[in-house]
Structure 1
Amino acid sequence: MPNDAAQLWEYVIHIPHDPRAVTLCRHTLRVALALHGLARVADIAELLATELLSNAVRHTKGPVAFRLLWADGVLRIGAWDADPTPPAPPLRPAPVAEEEGRGLDLVRACADLWGWHLQPKDGDAGKYVWCELGAA
């Protein structure tokens, strides 16, 4: 199995606006990381991808895309959606009993860096929310 950890590579998956598509992206992420010799970051990358994609599907309408990019020793995980509204960080931590409301808190806590920017695509005035992991 080749170790492509030093090479630039990228995968982009356009998914339907359907929560089941998040599972497909998680499985694809795991396979891509294993094939590129980066299985050691798969657990945390899967958590981050799930949070970003779930937010895109849950809080917006329209198309969604998943992006996985490896460059210069950094894994960038991102979700694009058609809604230009900024991701709203919670005003306070979600109560422990709540099942929702911790997505961006998890991303902030687990990623080395995260952010978002407006990114129109195919006539949709969307945004791209991303995070990065160093694979050291």
Structure 2
Amino acid sequence: MDPKKLAQLLADKEAKEQAQKNAEKTAAIGAAADRATRQRAVEDALQNSVLPYLEDVKQTIGQKFTYGVSHDANTMKPAGVVFSIAGSKVKIESRFGDVSTTIEQKLSARPTLTLHQDISTASDLTPDKIGALIESLITSG
């Protein structure tokens, strides 16, 4: 094969590889920006919706309801909450914009841990959904 054609083949291959690397880098940057946006939405929902609601529940129910807040070490914004009522402990936390809700219930001698699917995004962090979860914990015991 002609050396000029070989050189062109090599140049085309290198250009294609570089284009692929650039596309992957662009996708990674976009994914990171999306995670950051979702994380801010969760922090805002916790701060502006969930925490005031939990405080209202605490003021209304009293010592039978407790809650605590965890904060992001870098931003000091709320990153999660834990609350207890009727022998159950609920943990709602966020990592990279995803919400995880786990429930530990002590319905027998051995506690059970379950993942709660109804609260899994920032838009689920509402007083209505948190209230429905608390109601289900009270009525299930």
Shorter chain as normaliser: what TM range? Answer: under 0.3
Looking at secondary structure, tell me which structure has more helix per residue.
2
Structure (1 or 2) with the larger CA radius of gyration: 2
Larger RCO (alpha carbons 8 Å, 6+ apart): 1
Using structure 2 for the length normalisation, give the TM-score.
Answer: 0.27
